[in-house]
Amino acid sequence: MLAMMNPLLALVFAAVAATASAASPDPAKLRLASANVLVLDADAGEPIYAKAADEVTPIASLTKLMTAMVVLDGGQSLDDTLEVSLNDIDFLKGSSSRLRLGTQLPRREMLRLALMSSENRAASAVARYYPGGTDAFVNAMNFKAASLGMTRSRFADPTGLSPSNVSTANDLAKLVKAAADYPLIREYSTTPSAFVEVDPAGRMVGFNNSNRLVASHNWEIQLQKTGYIREAGRCLVMLANIASKPVVIVLLDSVGKYTRLGDAERVKRWLETGEGMPEALKRAVAGSSPRGVAAKRSSAGVRGTLPARSLVKVRSN
């Protein structure tokens, strides 16, 4: 009888060990190029992987998640018409935009473009139309950050173009979880693409999401935001369902156009299998040669899901 039980016990112990391994993948097997990283179990609030997660660094357009929360907290009508003015032009970084001077759009459309396509003029406009103007809006951003316990974060503008907008991976995980409580932020940040009527003559312009992973059938992304300025490197935050649980991923200061996406894929594979990513698969995920991935902080345009003639170039996303 004992002899018959031993194989059964061995199977049970093997199953338990496998479950434990899947639940707690080995951090040594995860190699990421991003300088600051946090992978967080969103339900438990426990870190699964961390790398320089308390280091303060510029966050570029990740800022726009905070911008969106302050807009929605303000309670102004999303149907109000806002107009792009000279004050919304980026004279700091010279980023491009498809929203011309005088473009009039509802506040909800400006908010969608800020989150989906990282439109800087849209983000600037929603802040400028806030009661008290942009200065009051930035004060509200910092007040909101303090209320969320983001003690190492500071905001200087609503777009993220200023390198004075800084945070940490740990603080940004708090921002992602808070932003996920807003259905519109979840919806707008994960919309793959949209056409927008930008003038009374009915001219339509196509806008794409700055994160191509939202269009991938391999991902279940609930919320996301990308960011880029030279001082911040390529940045990405996401809330996604991976291995049947919600996970917050924060990737900061990546070099190369595709590195943050490659790091996201590596995190996903590691959580699902407990293994790192084979070299051949790394190149396939990046969509570029190793030399291309290593290119230093390129300012190339964003790839998206609309036809090439409709692509929106976003240099600081």
Catalytic residue among 118, 124, 193, 254: 118
Active site residue 124: no
Report the candidate in 257, 275, 267 with the shortest Cα–Cα distance to residue 313. Answer: 257
| Rounded Cα distance, 88 and 158, in Å | 11
Report the candidate in 27, 14, 45 with the shortest Cα–Cα distance to residue 245. Answer: 45
Q: How many residues does the chain have?
A: 317
Catalytic residue among 51, 64, 93, 144: 64
Active site residue 254: no
Catalytic residue among 34, 51, 61, 254: 61
**DSSP string covering 159-201, please?**
SS-STT-EE-HHHHHHHHHHHTT-HHHHHHHT--EEEEE-STT
Handedness of CA 293, 273, 26, 169 (dihedral sign): positive
Query: What would the two tokens of residue 39 be?
Result: 């992978």
| Rounded Cα distance, 70 and 74, in Å | 6
| Rounded Cα distance, 12 and 16, in Å | 6
| Rounded Cα distance, 6 and 301, in Å | 61
Active site residue 64: yes
Catalytic residues: 61, 64, 118
